[in-house]
A = this chain, B = another copy of it.
Amino acid sequence: MASGAKPVVSFLGPVASYSHQAVRQVFPEDNWDLRPVATIDDVFDQVQDREVLAGVVPFENSTNGSVVFTLDNLADRDGRYEDITVDGEIFVDVHHCLVGRKNPHPLLEDNTDSGTRTPTATDPSPSKPKSKPLSSLRHIKRLYSHPQAFGQCNAFISTYLKGVEIFEASSTSKAAEIVSADRTGTWAAISNELAANLHGLDTLGKSIEDREDNTTRFLIIGTNPSIPEDWHLAKQSIAKSGSKSLVSFTVPHTSPGALEDVLSCFKEFNLNLTSINSRPSLLAPFQYIFFVEFEGHKYDDPDGRVKGALDKISRVAGSWRWLGSWERYR
């Protein structure tokens, strides 16, 4: 890194992705160079190789669940990422917009739709969309987005965009980019507001997602202790609410009760578990690497409970790794 240059944080691109929104919440652009990369693997590679000081990767969505690509990199089966630790988390509320070009010839009756759909045999109690279009959608012929976003906006699409042809894009921000190239004015994308602004598109609908509480959690990864204190500063205004740690472990396959033995370490030291995930260990079929998050901090552990639990895990697990501890701001 050139002396005097801003430190770099890489994130899963493209520009205007939800990951980009996450990075902007915590890493001020005055102090940091925000770098979009193509894959989650690239974020891990650049952090491990010290090309960047930090990385931001999606970890789980409150509707769709865990992001297995991130878990698989944290599993680090090849020892490629041995210096990487998790140093923080960022929550981003997912609000989808419908973006495109406004209808140049809206009809009076276009916005009188009640938002109520007719029950059918396959959908006897159709859900009502929680928001209405901001302007007429009669001209829309094509809809672009990431497959997950279609699933998250089901009620809006089946109420206001019936019969529109669906096209899958690799990301919601890519969908907005595709639509920005349309010259017919009849294409639209489900995307976020940042992408709409970036591509000069009109917002035709806001918060069109089915669920209000659609949130994605991102992890900040680094090669501890290289992360400077200044990204903590950006969060000073948010109330701290305890701390959290992440560990991974395998269990000796021949020993019955081995998984319970590791899990009971947390109970023994009165540490509250907040998540459990598992992925194939790839050592043998149907053996797993487990990921456990718990409340507590390895380096802020006045009564030694975290140390006690980790010491015991090191004795009963097959292999294990402390992946990081961080402050919670939510």
Contact = CB atoms under 8 A, between A and B. Distances in A.
Nearest to A211: B282
Interface stretch (A159-167, A185-193, A284-292): A284-292
A267 interface: yes
Interface string A62-85: 111110100000000000000000
A280 B62 contact: yes
A292 to B, nearest CB: 10
Contacts of A213: 284-285
A286 B282 CA distance: 27
A83 to B, nearest CB: 19
Interface in A238-292: 256-257, 259-261, 263-264, 266-267, 270, 272-280, 282, 284-286, 288, 290
A311 to B, nearest CB: 18
27 contacts: A62-B280, A62-B285, A62-B286, A65-B68, A65-B278, A65-B279, A65-B280, A66-B278, A213-B284, A215-B286, A256-B295, A259-B272, A260-B263, A260-B266, A260-B267, A260-B272, A261-B267, A263-B263, A263-B267, A264-B267, A274-B286, A275-B278, A275-B286, A275-B288, A276-B276, A276-B278, A276-B290
Contacts of A261: 267
